């Protein structure tokens, strides 16, 4: 086997598996057993993988989240186009089983290296790029309805938070009010086994989520969270699962409302949509991640006039942007909201987009001292 990249996680290698791990291991073994029984019966082994496409997700108006449908894709070993994918699925299965058995966890890239090797007799690798491995991991997640964390896998840390809250992470106390300029890096696994909240230790009244690190820096430098008594987070663009899960837990367990400050472009709208309703690709995790009550604070397409910005901050829309905007407008969760329709139409008629940084043209701290406080005060947001 290829070299292993094991990262030490404060979890003692026990012979006895935790109940959660035992359940996951059982599911993995079940997958392998089905191959054996198919082979015994002279049948093609196959797996039914729930389909992770737009066609197989639907919006639940009641729960206000995206849910995955029942459609599945059959992946067969004896199908020319699927044989390799099938083999990879089995490799990932065995890799995860090994991690669980040894009580260790690894990064996605770690697993990629763990499973990557040259197939015997041919000049072909099991995996050539990490992306190939990552999609298979997602397949296995939906296949076993076990999330990544249960498979002992984690992603790179992305996103940061500061604010008036103290919690424990793997037993260490984290005081988010004393995080300096860098903030607390949100880990990819923020499950209750790792991150434990204490309601008493949270003084924050709401969460402000901004799109990018640079904007977040602005807010942090201005000690926005201190003045307004909130938690400040960012997700480096499209927020990774760790950030979304963190927001979800903060929102639900500590009952903190969530406000988002994102760019005024289709991409910003989409980020909001993902935070609020869940993503198509990870629809199976919407339940654990989506925050239907999240509010969209800005930037709005009316801000160009409202804040009297100069012409120089406009970035004209390109064809992809226009197309994307129309797609977003047609999402079921936006379709029936006149305010959102007006918002998107306004942007299209503006024919330009605005980044949050554009507010700096007014004043360096305009966004933290003027823009956001005003919106919050006036309760001027989109839902």
Partner 1 sequence: MATRKPIKKRSVPATATKKKAPPAASAAKRKAAPKVAEVSPEESPGADEAAAEDDSAGDEAAATAKSTGRRATAQSMASKQRDISVSEFFAKNRHLLGFDNPRKALLTTIKEAVDNSLDACEEAGILPEIWVHIEQTSTDRYKIGVQDNGPGIVKKQIPLIFGKLLYGSKFHRLRQSRGQQGIGISAAGMYGVQTTGKPVKIISRISPKKPAHYYEIQIDTKRNEPKILNGAGEGVDIAYGEKGAKDIEKHGIEWVDQPHGTRVTIELEAKYIRGRGSVDEYLHQTAIANPHITLHYTDPEGNVREYQRAADKLPPEPKEILPHPYGVELGRLAAMLAEAEGMSITQFLSTKFSRVSPAVAKKICTTAKVSPRAMTRKLGRPEAEALYHAIQATKIAPPATDCICPIGEELLLKGLYQVVPGEFYAAATRPPSVYRGNPFQIEVALAYGGAAATQNVDKDLLEDLIEETDARTIRQFLVSTFNGLGTDAADRIMKAASLGTRQAPKQLKPKERQRLLDAMQNVNVAEGQTMEVMRYANRVPLQFQQAACAITQTITSTNWRSYGLSQSRGGMPKGPVYIMVHIASVWVPFTSESKEAIASYPEIQKEIRLGLQAVGRKLGMYVRKRMRVKQQGDRRDIFMRYLKEVASAVSEVNGVDRDGLYNQLLTVAKRVTADADMKLDDRGRKIKEPSEETDFGENVLIVDPKTHAAAIKRGPAAVAVAEGE
What string of DSSP letters covers 270-311?
Answer: HHHHHHHH--STTGGGHHHH--TT-EEEE--TTHHHHTT--G
Determine contact, residues 104/124, Cβ cutoff 8 Å.
no
Count residues binding partner 1 (CB under 8 A).
33
**Chain length of the chain:** 383
**Among 45, 213, 239, 298, interactor with partner 1 by CB under 8 A:** 45
Instruction: Residue 147: name the closest of 208, 193, 207, 197 by CA.
Output: 193
Q: How far is the CB of 42 from partner 1 (least distance, A)?
A: 6
Torsion of CA 286, 289, 291, 292, to 10 degrees: 0
Closer by beta carbon to partner 1, 3 or else 43: 43
173 binds partner 1 (CB under 8 A): no
Determine contact, residues 162/176, Cβ cutoff 8 Å.
yes
Taking the C-alpha atoms of residue 140 and residue 27, their distance in angstroms, rounded to an integer, is 10
Catalytic residue, chosen from 113, 184, 259, 331, is 113
Q: How far is the CB of 124 from partner 1 (least distance, A)?
A: 7
Closer by beta carbon to partner 1, 40 or else 181: 40
118 binds partner 1 (CB under 8 A): no
Taking the C-alpha atoms of residue 270 and residue 268, their distance in angstroms, rounded to an integer, is 5
Taking the C-alpha atoms of residue 196 and residue 190, their distance in angstroms, rounded to an integer, is 9
**Among 3, 43, 205, 223, interactor with partner 1 by CB under 8 A:** 43
29 binds partner 1 (CB under 8 A): yes
Would you call 296 a catalytic residue per the annotation? Answer: no
Q: Binding site annotation covers 265?
A: no
Alpha helices in 175-316 (DSSP H): 213-221, 224-228, 241-253, 266-277, 286-289, 303-306
Q: How far is the CB of 188 from partner 1 (least distance, A)?
A: 25
Q: Find tokens 């927020």 and name the residue.
A: 239
Q: Binding site annotation covers 129?
A: no
Closer by beta carbon to partner 1, 36 or else 364: 36
Name residues contacting partner 1, limited to 58-97 (CB under 8 A).
77-78, 80, 83-84, 86-87, 90-91, 93-94, 97
Determine contact, residues 264/352, Cβ cutoff 8 Å.
no
Can you say which residues are annotated as belonging to the binding site for Mg(2+)?
A: 211, 263
Can you say which residues are annotated as belonging to the binding site?
A: 211, 263
In the complex, the residues that contact partner 1 under the rule CB under 8 A are 28-29, 31-33, 35-36, 38-40, 42-45, 77-78, 80, 83-84, 86-87, 90-91, 93-94, 97-98, 119-122, 124, 126
List residues with catalytic annotation. Answer: 113
């Amino acid at each position: 086997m290829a070299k292993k990249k094991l990262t030490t996680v404060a979890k003692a290698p026990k012979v006895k598996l935790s109940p959660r791990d035992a359940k996951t291991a059982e599911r993995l073994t079940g997958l392998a057993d089905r191959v054996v029984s198919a082979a015994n019966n002279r049948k093609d082994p196959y797996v039914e993988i729930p389909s992770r496409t737009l066609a197989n997700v639907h919006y639940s108006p009641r729960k206000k989240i995206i849910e995955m449908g029942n459609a599945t894709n059959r992946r067969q070993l004896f199908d020319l186009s699927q044989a390799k994918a099938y083999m990879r699925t089995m490799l990932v299965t065995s890799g995860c089983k090994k991690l669980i058995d040894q009580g260790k966890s690894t990064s996605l890239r770690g697993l990629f290296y763990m499973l990557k090797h040259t197939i015997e007799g041919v000049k072909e690798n099991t995996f050539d790029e990490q992306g190939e491995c990552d999609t298979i991991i997602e397949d296995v997640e939906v296949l076993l309805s076990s999330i990544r964390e249960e498979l002992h896998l984690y992603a790179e840390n992305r996103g940061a938070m500061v604010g008036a809250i103290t919690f424990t992470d793997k037993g260490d106390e984290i005081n988010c009010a004393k995080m300096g300029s860098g903030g607390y890096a949100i880990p990819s696994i923020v499950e209750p086994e790792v991150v434990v909240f204490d309601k008493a230790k949270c003084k924050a009244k709401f969460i402000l989520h901004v799109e990018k690190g640079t904007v977040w820096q602005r807010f942090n430098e201005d000690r926005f969270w201190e003045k307004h008594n909130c938690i400040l987070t960012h997700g480096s663009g499209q927020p990774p699962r760790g950030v979304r899960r963190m927001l979800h837990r903060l929102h639900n367990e500590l009952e903190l409302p969530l406000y988002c400050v994102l760019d005024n472009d289709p991409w910003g709208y989409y980020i909001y949509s993902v935070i609020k309703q869940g993503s198509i690709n990870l629809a199976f995790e919407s339940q654990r991640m989506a925050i239907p009550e999240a509010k969209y604070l800005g930037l709005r397409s009316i801000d160009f006039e409202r804040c009297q910005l100069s012409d120089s901050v406009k970035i004209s829309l390109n064809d992809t942007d226009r197309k994307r905007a129309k797609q977003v407008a047609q999402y079921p969760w936006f379709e029936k909201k006149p305010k959102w329709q007006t918002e998107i139409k306004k942007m299209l008629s503006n024919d330009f987009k605005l980044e949050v940084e554009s507010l700096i043209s007014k004043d360096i701290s305009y966004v933290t001292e003027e823009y956001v406080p005003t919106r919050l005060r006036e309760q001027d947001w989109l839902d």
